[in-house]
Amino acid sequence: MSFKRILAIGAHPDDVELGCSGSLLRFMQQGAEVDIVVARNDNAPKPSVRRDRSTMQREYKSAEKLLGIKFKMLDNPISEDGRPILERDSHTVQQMDEFVQSKEYDLVITHSPGDHHQDHQNTFHIVNSSLRRYQGEFWLMEGGPYSNKNKQFNPNVFVDITDHIDKKIELVGCYASYFSETLLHNIKGLAAYRAQMTNSRYAEAFECKWRTI
């Protein structure tokens, strides 16, 4: 399994690291070009209920540096209290269109619509709309803490990330204001569970939503 150009799209900084960074690292090692888009711009005045802008910026820039990829972010409208608003509308889909159509990607990865975070659901629908003329593979990723109640996720692709699990955990650990040692342990445990399908130590699971050849 190899790809030339991959576009990974998360609702927030930390989502791609959580859901598919091990696979991205593997494919990059094989020569793939990877781009990352964040649907909700956390450079907004108040990006999170729990974390301030300076913390969010410091954390995602640490992840950018470690991964070696500069994140691209959508331009969201801002609420009265300074929070970015992420909705599926024509303006947001048009922005995503520009990213999707900027290169001939042969793999696009984003959230499952069954995740119980509304930003994840909106991101899936935005990306799905932007892929209306896309030719390639479309995978949905699994984001540990957010997908525990996801009854729609039906994994049918499993990628061995044994050689990259430590860097994946380091990448997720860049977001120390959210991911505790317990959460990092559980993320690694999920990768160990998914590895049963690859007869390896650690793997990431995906649902291949569709492919066109």
- Mind listing the pLDDT tens digit for each residue in 35-62? 999 999 876 666 665 666 778 889 999 9
**CA quadruple 48, 79, 111, 95: dihedral sign:** negative
Beta bridge partners of 151: none
- Mind listing the pLDDT tens digit for each residue in 2-45? 899 999 999 999 999 999 999 999 999 999 999 999 999 876 66
Confidence at residue 148, expressed as pLDDT on a 0 to 100 scale:
79
The CATH number of the domain holding residue 103 is 3.40.50.10320
* Inter-residue contact 137 to 8 (CB < 8 Å): no
Torsional class of 68: left (φ above 0), alpha (ψ -120 to 50), beta (otherwise): left
No. of helices (H) and no. of strands (E), the chain: 7, 7
Q: How many domains does the chain have?
A: 1
Report how far apart, in Å, the C-alpha atoms of 209 and of each of 64, 153, 174 are.
27, 10, 30
Q: How confident is the model at residue 145 (pLDDT cuts 50, 70, 90)?
A: confident
The residue-averaged pLDDT of 108-114 equals 97
- Mind listing the pLDDT tens digit for each residue in 51-90? 667 788 899 999 999 999 999 999 988 888 888 889 999 9
Instruction: Give the range of the structural domain holding residue 168, as residue numbers without chain letter.
Output: 5-211
